[in-house]
Every structure is written in structure tokens, then in C-alpha cells.
A and B are shown apart, each in its own frame.
Chain A
Amino acid sequence: QSALTQPASVSGSPGQSITISCTGTSSDVGSYDYVSWYQQHPGRAPELMIYDVRNRPSGVSNRFSGSKSGNTASLTISGLQTEDEADYYCSSYTSTNTPWVFGGGTKLTVL
């Protein structure tokens, strides 16, 4: 059981927008703006896409955006492209005994 809850899968067509949710608790997502998102293509290492809820690292497309409301953070990908097909993981700082938690991951399929 992952500490953060993500949908197992989402899908969309090229050009469309999709949103992946990441639900935590008041011990993590709800109390800290330290949510990050990672993209992982099959057989590859994860790559940072969003940090501190809504910030993009240099080099990441502005089609990727993040937000948060209450205990739920979201990753939105607009103008879907075939290369966006990958697994996406959220992560957050947590005030529990383990300082870092991840979501279970969401498989994005671009139809």
C-alpha cells in the first residue's frame, strides 16, 4: 500500500489534456508544498518533471503543469504527445517517521 494514492492508469489522445491525481493526507500533501512528479519510461530511470507542486525544471516542456488543493496534488499534461506515454509518480515530504513517500504510479497511455 503506497502512502500516496494515484489512479493506476489514465489515457488520452494526441493533442488532448489529461490530469493525474495524487491524494495524500494532512501529514504530507495537505501540509507541505513539497510535491514532486517524476516520469519514467520503460526500462529507464525516473526523471523530475515538477517540483514544489508547480515548478518545472529547466528543459521540461511547459505542457506539464502541477497544482494542489487540500490533500490532493495534480499533474496536468496538455497537448498530449506519443512520447508522453510513460509511468508517472508523485512524491511528497511527510512528517511521519519516513520523510519521503511516493505514489503507486500511474500508467499514461496515449491512444
Chain B
Amino acid sequence: EVQLVESGGGLVQSGGSLRLSCAASGFTFSRYWMHWVRQAPGKGLVWVSHINSEGSNTGYADSVKGRFTISRDNAKNTLYLQMNSLRAEDTAVYYCVRRGFPAALHWYFDLWGRGTLVTISS
């Protein structure tokens, strides 16, 4: 089955760190650009970060730049998001998302995980 399964969310104090993981299965993970998108409780979707298929090109939203780091291990079919210096406003469900293939032709997200909840307490 083609799927993305996130893990690693939880309750952390402000200023703390968390590492999210996303296990991919059912498709050739190494071909795809991958993203993290978050959704604060009761709010809309917000793009957080992306990484190219090789892991050599990354991008971040201004709100997380310098605090979050995206990475991937293609041998393990796993995407990561290292989150440091967490703030209350980072509280959200974090979705692991696959971009259409090939990336150069496809600017949309065609597969979403079920998400993992990150809660930052102040």
C-alpha cells in the first residue's frame, strides 16, 4: 500500500526540540521531492519545508528558517524534520507530504500522511 506514516510528535516545553519521522512505503521514495506541511488547531494549511529527491536541496518557510532542519534517508525510505527552539506558535499537526513526480512538471501534493501532533507548552 502506498502510504506515509508520521511519528515523533508530542508535548514539549517552549525552547525544546523534537524530531519527526515519516516512513514511506509502497513507492520509490528516492524519486520524490518531499515536504512538511503543518496545520495549527482549527487553522489552515501552511507549508513548512521541502527537500529534493537526493537530499541536496532544501527550503524553509521564513517562520521556521534557522530552527528546523529537513533531511531524508533514502536507504531507509524515511523523511525527517528536526525542530529546535520550539515556540508556542509551532503547535500544529505536521503532515508528511509527497510532491507529484517528476517534480519539474508537477507542482502539487499527491500523497499525504495522517499527521503527527506537536504541542508546545509555554
Q: Which residues on A are within 8 Å of B, measured CB to CB?
A: 2, 32, 34, 36, 38, 44-48, 51-52, 57, 89, 91, 93, 97-105
Given contacts A45-B95, A51-B100, whether A91 and B108 have CB atoms under 8 Å apart is yes
- A102 close to B47 (CB less than 8 A): yes
How far, in Å, is A75 (CB) from chain B's closest CB? 13
Residue from B95, B107, B110 having most chain A Cβ neighbours under 10 A: B107
- Inter-chain contact count A-B, CB under 8 Å? 57
How far, in Å, is B47 (CB) from chain A's closest CB? 4
Enumerate B87-108 residues with CB–CB distance to A below 8 Å.
Answer: 95, 100, 106-108
Q: Which residues on B are within 8 Å of A, measured CB to CB?
A: 35, 37, 44-47, 50, 59, 61-62, 95, 100, 106-110, 112-115
- A34 close to B107 (CB less than 8 A): yes
Bound Cα distance from A78 to B109, whole angstroms: 24
How far, in Å, is B116 (CB) from chain A's closest CB? 11
Give every chain B residue within 8 A of A48 (Cβ-Cβ): 108-110
Q: Which residue of B lies closest to A57 (CB)?
A: B110
Bound Cα distance from A102 to B97, whole angstroms: 14
Given contacts A38-B45, A51-B106, whether A97 and B113 have CB atoms under 8 Å apart is no
Give every chain B residue within 8 A of A91 (Cβ-Cβ): 45, 108-109
Q: Which residue of B lies closest to A51 (CB)?
A: B108
Bound Cα distance from A36 to B61, whole angstroms: 19
Give every chain A residue within 8 A of B110 (Cβ-Cβ): 48, 51, 57
- A102 close to B109 (CB less than 8 A): no
Give every chain B residue within 8 A of A103 (Cβ-Cβ): 44
20 interchain pairs, CB-CB under 8 A: A34-B108, A38-B45, A38-B109, A44-B114, A45-B113, A45-B114, A46-B45, A46-B95, A46-B112, A48-B108, A51-B110, A52-B107, A91-B45, A93-B107, A99-B47, A99-B59, A100-B47, A102-B44, A102-B47, A105-B44
